[in-house]
Amino acid sequence: MSSTEQARWFVLGGDHLVLLDAQGQIPQGARAQLPAHLQDAPFERFDDWDGEPCYLLDLGADADTSAMAGLRQLMVAGDEEGFRLAGRAWQLATFRRSHRFCGECGAPMAPKAGEWAQECQQGHVVYPRISPCIIVAVRKGPAILLAAHRRHYQADDPMYTVLAGFVEAGENLEQCVAREVFEESGIRVGNIRYVASQPWPFPHSLMMGFTADYQSGEIKVQDDELVAADFFEANRLPRLPPHGTIARRLIEQCLADEA
């Protein structure tokens, strides 16, 4: 790259932190505008954004991250493309960090030329790990099934969201939706329909969003994962996940379809 090339600079460190400029965005401009200690750093090109190259640098888990912000901040600020690309950068960095040795022969691995992969001297190659997850909004008449999850639970102001879970080996997505909903809530669902997907870089999920219709059963919360679950109508909703998440999109679509 030349010193005057206009680019986007994704500088990562710690646990899902990212360097933002004074406006709270991914730094944009020539390399010469970066802080002095980053001028000669080994950036890797990983994508493009509006015709400008995106460069990635992972300073590591123990880096000085005092000037960095959480990746979620981009999402909360409504910077959809910034969040998507920073999430992609983080998934690639997580892959490099966690695949330093070959799982087959134990030898050290290094970046493979020409593609995003790690390779050992014996030619074993691995690619970034992506974990498929389903996320589903269950509709019952004018109401939607929402649950307060044990993870991140705030007793004074609990957030309620839709159900989600990892796809198991040998399972198709529709089976996963039906199994997760039944395991977590005791509800049987049908009419399972795909809506949209979202990469979720915490650390490497691909969320696949569905809607489904209530068929039978009474709510019986699985205590390990959920604190509470209930059917909510649009006029008495609890606190919901932020805009920019597929969870929020599913909830809004589900309620709009009913209205």
| Contact residues: Zn ion, CB under 5 A | 102, 104-105, 120, 122, 124
Nearer to Zn ion, 102 or 146 (CB): 102
* Least distance (Å) between residue 97 CB and Zn ion: 18
Residue of this chain nearest to Zn ion (CB atom): 102
121 Ramachandran zone, left/alpha/beta (phi>0; psi -120 to 50): alpha
* Least distance (Å) between residue 104 CB and Zn ion: 5
CB-based contacts of 231, cutoff 8 Å, min separation 6: 140, 143, 144, 145, 146, 219
* Least distance (Å) between residue 145 CB and Zn ion: 46
Nearer to Zn ion, 122 or 154 (CB): 122
- The total of other beta-carbon atoms located within 10 Å of residue 158's CB is 15
Query: Which residue type does 46 have?
Result: F
* Least distance (Å) between residue 169 CB and Zn ion: 23
Strand 205-216 versus strand 131-140 pairing type = parallel
Nearer to Zn ion, 119 or 184 (CB): 119
Nearer to Zn ion, 86 or 120 (CB): 120
Report DSSP letters for 114-180, one per residue.
TSS-EEETT--EE----EEEEEEEEEETTEEEEEEESTT--TTS-BEE-EEEEPPTT--HHHHHHHH
* Least distance (Å) between residue 204 CB and Zn ion: 21
DSSP 8-state assignment for residue 38:
G
What is the dihedral sign for C-alpha 103, 107, 108, 113?
A: negative
Nearer to Zn ion, 80 or 104 (CB): 104
* Least distance (Å) between residue 60 CB and Zn ion: 24
* Least distance (Å) between residue 107 CB and Zn ion: 5
* Least distance (Å) between residue 129 CB and Zn ion: 16
Nearer to Zn ion, 104 or 213 (CB): 104
How many whole angstroms from its chain centre is CA 25? 18
**3-class DSSP assignment, residue 9:** strand
For residues 220 and 229, the answer to whether their CB atoms sit within 8 Å is no
Nearer to Zn ion, 107 or 196 (CB): 107
CA nearest to 99, candidates 134, 58, 45? 58
Nearer to Zn ion, 57 or 102 (CB): 102
